[in-house]
Each structure stands twice: as C-alpha cells, then as structure tokens.
C-alpha cells in the first residue's frame, strides 16, 4: 500500500446564498432542496463508483455538515468536524451581494494585491490558505495510505489549492461547483489528480463557477 494519502475535496451542496449570489462565509446557511439532492448524488457516487473512504471530515457549518452526513451514511462513517476547512469569513461584509463586493469594494483586486487584507472582523486570504493547508496536512498525516473525504467550501478550497499548488495566496483559478469533488495528494509534492468532477450531478446542475467569484482567474 502507498503511504500517500488521497484527499477527496468535496464542495457542499447548493444553498440559497449561492443562487442569490451573496457571500455567506461564516454565515451558517442550510442546504436548499436542490443542495440536498446534490449531496445525495455525490454520496451515492463516492460510495458506489469510487474506492471506499477511511474517514470523512467536514467544516463546522451546517451546509458542509449536512453534505458530509449524506456521504458518511452511504459509507457507514460518522463525519468528524474540522473547523480549519471552514469557509472564508468576511466579517462585516458577510451577506453582501457578489456584485457589490466586486463593484463597490473591488474585493478581488484588493486581496490579489494584498493577501493580508481583511474586512473588519474577517479573515485575510493568507489566514484562510494557512489554516486550510494546516488541516489537510494534519489529516493526511493521520491517514497514511488511506482515502479521506473532506467537505469544505468554494473560497476555502480555492485559496487552499492556490497556495498548495501555485504558492499564490489569493489565487481563485480553481473554483469548484456545488457537490463536485477533486482528488488531491500531497506527497511527494501537492498535485491534483482530478478537479471539479461533476458527472454524477446530471440533473442537479450547479451554478457556473464564474458567477461565484466575479472573475475567472482569482
């Protein structure tokens, strides 16, 4: 058996904030009905068409937890909460429309130019990427040679992958669809084996990723 851990990164199912195009980072939002269907679809796929997982980890937010619960039920695993894979917290900017963050605050340009920028009460890209990397490396070390599912969020995954793969702290090149999954290994160096796998979501199509960040290469 290889000592390299395979990390399956899953973005949670759709929420009303996704369809309304508003930022809910630390805001605890439930899945929509479509999001629950997406969660069941990815759970079924991971249980029936992929190698079995040894563990399932989730952020502490209910949209991720409910997605992880479906995945765990399908594989007979109780998900474990890992707060460090939680979503990017924008503090006082939580709940604002993406169009406003883009047009009024010029948010994506500001964080690209300064990865330590944080809205009042919120996080910086550096802090999100750092905690995400710390979490995935800790989990990988605890599950050597095993396959592990992590249910996280669009912003956290995108920033984390940007740092792990490109050494760029505010990189938004890899935005995942709701309940898509990606396959990541960290040894001998971080690399993606698959990204944004979504074929299992036929009939439950998520949003275009470009709608989630305002721009493509961020």
For 27-37, write each residue's pLDDT tens digit. 999 999 999 99
Q: Give me the architecture of the 6-201 domain, per CATH.
A: 3-Layer(aba) Sandwich (3.40)
| pLDDT for res 214 | 38
Catalytic residues: 12, 87
Q: Is the pLDDT of residue 53 over 50?
A: yes
Tens digit of each residue's pLDDT (9 = 90 or more) over 132-183: 999 999 999 999 999 999 999 999 999 999 999 999 999 888 999 999 999 9
Give the start-to-end residue ranges of the domains of the chain. 6-201
100 sits in which H/E element: helix 98-103
At residue 142, what are phi and psi to the nearest 5 degrees? Answer: -80, -10
Whole-model pTM: value is 0.92
Name the residue with higher pLDDT: 202 or 122: 122
pLDDT tens digits, one per residue of 57-107: 999 999 999 999 999 999 999 999 999 999 999 999 999 999 999 999 999
Choose among 188, 147, 193, 138: nearest CA to 1: 147
Half-sphere exposure of 168 (CA within 13 A, CB side): 14
Residue 202 pLDDT: 85
């Amino acid at each position: 058996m290889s000592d390299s851990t395979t990390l399956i990164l899953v973005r949670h199912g759709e929420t009303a904030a996704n369809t309304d195009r508003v930022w809910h980072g630390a805001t605890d939002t439930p899945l929509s009905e479509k999001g629950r269907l997406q969660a069941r679809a990815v759970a079924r796929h991971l249980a029936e068409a992929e190698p079995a997982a040894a563990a399932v980890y989730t952020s502490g937010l209910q949209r991720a937890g409910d997605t992880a619960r479906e995945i765990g039920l399908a594989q007979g695993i109780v998900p474990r909460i890992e707060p460090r894979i939680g979503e990017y917290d924008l503090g006082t900017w939580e709940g604002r429309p993406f169009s406003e963050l883009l047009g009024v605050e010029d948010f994506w340009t500001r964080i690209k130019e300064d990865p330590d920028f944080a809205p009042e009460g919120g996080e910086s890209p550096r802090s999100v990427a750092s905690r995400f990397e710390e979490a995935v490396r800790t989990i990988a070390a605890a599950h050597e040679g095993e396959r592990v599912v992590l249910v996280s969020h669009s912003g956290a995954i995108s920033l984390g992958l940007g740092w792990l793969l490109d050494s760029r702290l505010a990189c938004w090149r890899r935005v995942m669809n709701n309940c898509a999954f990606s396959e990541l290994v960290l040894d001998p160096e971080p690399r993606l084996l698959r990204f944004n796998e979504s074929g299992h979501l036929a009939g439950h199509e998520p949003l275009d990723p470009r709608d989630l960040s305002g721009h493509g290469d961020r």
